[in-house]
Structure 1
Amino acid sequence: MSPQALLLAAFALLAGAMISIQAPINAMAAARLGNPLGAATLSFLVGALCLLVVTLSFARGQVAWGNVSSLPPMLWLGGVLGAIYVTVAIVLTPTLGVGAVIALAIAGQVTAGLALDHYGLFGLATREISLGRATGAVMVVIGALMVRFF
């Protein structure tokens, strides 16, 4: 594996760790605010402000903001799906625990990812579900269930 590939893999691992850390922080905010929707809103507001500062600092003049009004409605779903994920994680983390919520979420991601690949949805290249890929997905689901129930 090249040094660049190792660095990218390290960034992916770090991002995954951040998601695990985010879940209990947001759950604590929900407890203090008295509502998981308030905590999700706080999380997205802070995240949006951070992204705005970074975008204005590093991508000034590179973002075609004039195209926003002509985006197909489906492209707005990214934010909606993110809001749903964060809210569900906030609600489930105190009950199921961080490890189970993250493991089950990853199992859902892998399962959905295989379907997206198989059918080439959203303009992605089609990738068949091979025995190895299906077995890997089943192992992830079994692992997630083991994290939750054992």
Structure 2
Amino acid sequence: MLYFWLALAFVAGMMMPLQAGVNSTLALHSQGAIWASWISFMVGTAALLGVVLAMRYEWPVIADMKHAPWWAWTGGFMGALFVATGAFLAPRIGAATMVALLVAGQLIASLILDHLGWATFPQHSINLGRALGVVCLLAGVVLIRMN
């Protein structure tokens, strides 16, 4: 089962540049990246609603959701920023540079989150191997951007 989850993460990662390209194309036909991002979120919302209804999930209990910390509600904002930024940057800096920078930012933030064990992540201290992984990734960003 672990290999399935690893493959799923890999395939989802492959969707990042594709999503940015699709959304930047939509931006050309919808008055810009913000409208394209909004449309993307509406389509995504409809798709998730369809899944919820098809799977017959129970609706969340609002009283339970009130106990979530304030920052637990910021994921939608972060997703909107990510989608809008991708739609805006894709035609300006290209897929490889954009994704390299996105992944570098994601990896650095991930190391910090793992080190702190924050927001439901299991705690994994930063060590030499993890630090070298970041350095190699940053070198990759430089090499990709040199072209």
Q: 2: distance between equivalents of 1:9 and 1:144?
A: 23
Structure 1 unaligned residues grouped into runs of 5+: none
Q: 1:133 and 2:125 equivalent?
A: no
The CA distance in 1 between the partners of 2:104 and 2:27, in whole Å, is 25
Q: Counterparts in 2 of 1:64-103, with a 5 A limit?
A: 64-66=60-62, 67-103=64-100
TM-score, normalising length: structure 2: 0.90
| Structure 2, unpaired ranges of 5+ | none
Count of matched residue pairs: 146
Conservation of the 8 A alpha-carbon contact between 1:26 and 1:90: yes
Q: Which letter maps to 1:109?
A: Q
**Deviation (angstroms), 1:149:** 2.5
Residue equivalent to 1:115:
112
When the two chains are superposed, the root-mean-square deviation of aligned CA atoms in Å is 1.6
User: Which whole-Å deviations, capped at 9, do the CAs of 1:17-40 have from their partners, x for residues lacking one?
Assistant: 112211100001111112110001
- TM-score, with normalisation over the residues of structure 1? 0.89
In the TM superposition, what is the alpha-carbon distance from 1:5 to its structure 2 partner?
A: 2.3
What is the distance in 2 between the residues matched to 1:121 and 1:44? Answer: 27
Is the CA contact 1:96–1:148 (under 8 Å) kept in the aligned structure 2? no
Structure-2 residue corresponding to 1:6:
3
Give 1:13-52 correspondences, 5 Å limit. Answer: 13-52=10-49
Q: Point out the more displaced range, 75-84 or 7-16.
A: 7-16
More helix by proportion, 1 or 2?
1
